[in-house]
Structure 1
Amino acid sequence: MPVKIAVNGYGTIGKRIVDAVLSNKDFRLVGIAKYRVDYSAYLAARKGIPIYVPRERASEFREAGLEPHGYVDYLFEEADLIYDASPGGKGAGNKKIYESYGKPGVFQGGEEPGVAELSYSTLCNFEEALNKKYVRVVSCNTTGMLRLLCTLHREYGVKRALSVIIRRAADPKEDQRGPVNSILLDPPSIPSHHGLDARTVAPWLDIVTAAAVVPTTLMHMQFIEVELSTQVNRGDVVELLDGINRFLLVESASTGIDSTSKVMELARDSGRPRGDIYENIVFIDSLSINASRLYLFQGIHQESIVIPENIDVAYAMLGIESDPLKVMERVDSTLGIGGLRRFISPHGYIQIGGAP
C-alpha cells in the first residue's frame, strides 16, 4: 500500500514536494494544508489537489469559490507522514500538533536543528534516519555542500574545508526582499551559519563558511576549497562525481554555460518542470587540484535542490528501504535526476534527444 502523505504548506518547497509525491508510486498524496486564499490555492484546486483548511477559515475559501476537501485536523489524522513546508520558524509549534496526532514529520532547513531528532542529508547520514520520527532536511546551501563534502570524505577523507557562498537575494516571487543594488555581507562576521548547520549532519567536518548576498533570484554559487586526507588525481575526482546523478558536471569552455542564468536556461529548455535543478552544478573548468587540496565552483538551485532529500528521508523514516543507493536510484528515476546529461555529456558536449 502506498504511504499516505500530507504536506503542510504549499509555497516554494511545499508545491515541489507535492509534485514529487504525485510522481512516486510508493506514496499517495492525501492533500495539502492551506491557510489563506491566494493564487496558489486556485492553482492547486485546478490541478485536483485536495485542499484542507482550518475550520475557522473554511468560509473564506468557500466565498472565494474554493470548496475545501476537509479540515486540517482531518488531513493530519489521515496521513502516515507529514511534510512541514510552512514558513521558517513555525515548525516547532507545528511539531506539537503532529505529536498530538502521533504522526512523524519532516521539517525544512529554515527551522532550528532542535525541532527534530536528526538533521539530514542523504549522502551523509541516511542510515541514521532509519525509523526516526522527526527529521530536519538541511537548507539548500548546506545540502549542496554536504553532498560534495560527504562524497569526497567517503572516498578520500576530508581534513578541512572552506566555502564562500554567493547567495541569491530572494526567490523569484519574493519581490519584497533585497538588496536591489548592493552586495551584502550575510552575516558581516565569519563564520556564517552554513558551516554550523553542516556540522549538525556531519559532526566530523572541520569547515569555515562565509556568505554574501547579491541581487539575483536564480541560484546560489559556492566556491569550495577542500583539504583531503590524501593526494588525488583530477580525473579520479571527475569520475567520482560523474558517477552520482545528483552532480551535473558542466564544461563551460565547450558548452558556453558559464553562469547561473545559462544553467537555468538549460533546465527550462530541456523541459524540466519550473526549470528546477535538483543537481549540484559543478563547473569542471574550475575544478583544480594541488596535491591534496581541491578547489571548485558549484551552482545550487535554492528552490529545488532539497526536494530529493525530502523524498529520500521518507523511505528511511518509515522503514520502506534501508539501502540509500537503492532509494536514490528510485527517487532519481521519478524526478528525472541525471536526465540533463542527455543534453550535456559529463564532459560538457551538447547532445540532442532524450527526455529531461
Structure 2
Amino acid sequence: MSKTRVAVNGYGVIGKRVADAVLLQPDMELVGIADIATDWRIKSVAGRIPVFASTQDALTAMNAEGLHPLGTLDDLLAQADIIVDSTPKHVAAGNLPRYTAAGVKAIFQGGESHSTTGHSFVAQANYASALGRDTTRVVSCNTTSIVRVLGALRDAGLLLRARGVLIRRATDPWESHLGGIMNTMVPEAKIPSHQGPDAQTVIPDLDLVTIAAKGAHTQTHNHYWTLQLTREATREEVLDALRAAPRIAFIRMSDGLVALNSTIELMRDLGRPRGDMWEVAVWEDLVTVQGDEAFLTYQVYNEAIVVPETIDAIRALTRTAPDAATSMKITDDTLGMRDDFLSPLPRP
C-alpha cells in the first residue's frame, strides 16, 4: 500500500509538530516542509527533513544563508498528495488558489475562518463529513478542547447547555520577548468570545457561551465550565462520560498538579517531545456535580493539541482510514497518548 505524501507549509509552532507527527505515521510520508525563514528555525531542521522555499524571495535568501533548499513551494506541491498549511493567520487563506491549481488537497489551521474551507474539523465529532473533501480547517486549540469535552458529555446525553470562561495565554513562549502583557489581564472585546461560535461550526446545535481573557503567562490555556445537564446526575456519571471520550486525560491536585506550570513539568518528566500535551488535561478531583449542574476546569496545551486532529484530517481527506475510530487509534498509538497521566486506565 502506497503512503500518503504529505507536505507542510510553515515550519512554526504547529508546523514543526505536525511534521514530526507525520514522520511517526506508518501510512504517511513527509515529502518536505516549506517556509520563508532563514534563521535557527530552519537551520535546525536542514539535513533532517527536505526543505523548500515558500516564495521566490525566500529561495534567494535561503541560498544566501547556505541552506540550499530543494526548490520552491510549487516544486514541493508537485511531490505531494496533501499539504498542511500552518503559515500565519490570513496568509494561509491566500495560499488556497495555489493548492487548488496544483491539484493538492489542503488542511488549514484555526487561525483561518470557517468560510475559507466551508468545513471545520475535530476528529471525534465530524470525521465522516470530511471524507474525500479537498479542504478542511482544523479548529483552534481552545475550540478543539471544547468539542472534545463538551462533545463527550453531549454524546452521553448529559449536556443541555454550557457557559465557560477561558483564561488564555498571552503569546507563544518562543515569542515572549516580542510582546505579551505584564501584571494585568485583558478581557476579549465581546461576549460571546469567538471560541463558542467556532465550536458550533463543528457541532451546530451545541448550546454554549464563552467568555475569554488574555492572562500574563505564555504557556497553555485554562477553561472553567458551568454545565446545565439534561437531568440530575452523579459525579461518577460525568466522569464516566469523560473517561469514555478520546483525547481527554485526567490530572489531580492531590498528585501535586496544582497549577498550569506543574502539568507542563509533568509532560517533560514523561519524556514528551518538546514537553507536548496533545490531550485535554481535566482536573478529576475538581469535577463537581450538584443536581443537574456540573462544574469543571481543564488545561489546554495550545502548541500541541491540534496535532493529532491534523493527522486525522489527512486520513479523512485522502480516505486512507474509513472512520474516526480507525484513524484516531493509529494516531494516538504512534504519539503515545494517555487517558490518565499518572494512573493509566483502560478505555471502556
TM-score (norm 2): 0.95
The alpha carbon displacement at 1:339 in A equals 7.5
Separation of aligned partners in 2, 1:2 and 1:154:
33
The alpha carbon displacement at 1:157 in A equals 4.3
Judge conservation of contact 1:6–1:30 (CA < 8 Å) in 2: yes
Letter of the 1:313 counterpart: A
Which residue matches 2:109?
Answer: 108
Greater relative CO (CA pairs within 8 A, separation 6+): 2
Which residue matches 1:234?
Answer: 235
Which residue matches 1:320?
Answer: 320
Judge conservation of contact 1:117–1:133 (CA < 8 Å) in 2: no
Listed as ranges, the gaps of 5+ residues in structure 2 are none
The alpha carbon displacement at 1:5 in A equals 0.4
The alpha carbon displacement at 1:41 in A equals 0.7
Separation of aligned partners in 2, 1:131 and 1:293:
40
CA RMSD of aligned residues (A): 1.4
The alpha carbon displacement at 1:308 in A equals 0.7
Moved over 4 A (4+): none
Judge conservation of contact 2:281–2:300 (CA < 8 Å) in 1: yes
Which residue matches 1:216?
Answer: 217
Judging changes above 3 Å, is the alpha-carbon distance between structure 1 residues 166 and 134 closer, same or farther for their aligned structure 2 residues? same
Which residue matches 1:353?
Answer: none
Judge conservation of contact 2:25–2:334 (CA < 8 Å) in 1: yes
Judging changes above 3 Å, is the alpha-carbon distance between structure 1 residues 11 and 340 closer, same or farther for their aligned structure 2 residues? farther
Judge conservation of contact 1:250–1:344 (CA < 8 Å) in 2: no
Which residue matches 1:289?
Answer: 289
Q: Which moved more, 1:328-337 or 1:317-326?
A: 317-326
Q: How is 1:330-345 mapped onto 2 (pairs within 5 angstroms)? A: 330-338=330-338, 341=341, 343-345=342-344
Which residue matches 2:186?
Answer: 184
Equivalent pairs: percent with the same residue?
36
The alpha carbon displacement at 1:132 in A equals 1.1
Aligned length: 342
Judge conservation of contact 1:81–1:104 (CA < 8 Å) in 2: yes
Letter of the 2:318 counterpart: L
Separation of aligned partners in 1, 2:51 and 2:11:
10
The alpha carbon displacement at 1:178 in A equals 1.4
- What is the DSSP-based 3-state SS (H/G/I as helix, E as strand, rest coil) of the residue aligned with 1:216? coil
- What is the DSSP-based 3-state SS (H/G/I as helix, E as strand, rest coil) of the residue aligned with 2:287? strand
Q: Which moved more, 1:225-234 or 1:270-279?
A: 225-234
Judge conservation of contact 2:83–2:106 (CA < 8 Å) in 1: yes
The alpha carbon displacement at 1:340 in A equals 6.1
Q: Which moved more, 1:37-46 or 1:134-143?
A: 37-46
Judge conservation of contact 2:185–2:214 (CA < 8 Å) in 1: yes
Listed as ranges, the gaps of 5+ residues in structure 1 are 347-356
Separation of aligned partners in 2, 1:38 and 1:103:
28
Letter of the 2:293 counterpart: R
- What is the DSSP-based 3-state SS (H/G/I as helix, E as strand, rest coil) of the residue aligned with 1:289? strand
TM-score (norm 1): 0.93
Q: How is 1:1-356 mapped onto 2 (pairs within 5 angstroms)? A: 1-46=2-47, 48-53=48-53, 54-174=55-175, 175-187=177-189, 189-253=190-254, 255-338=255-338, 341=341, 343-345=342-344
Separation of aligned partners in 2, 1:160 and 1:244:
19
Judge conservation of contact 1:156–1:230 (CA < 8 Å) in 2: no
Judge conservation of contact 1:163–1:223 (CA < 8 Å) in 2: yes
Separation of aligned partners in 2, 1:63 and 1:339:
47
The alpha carbon displacement at 1:230 in A equals 2.8
Judge conservation of contact 1:91–1:115 (CA < 8 Å) in 2: no
Separation of aligned partners in 1, 2:112 and 2:322:
26
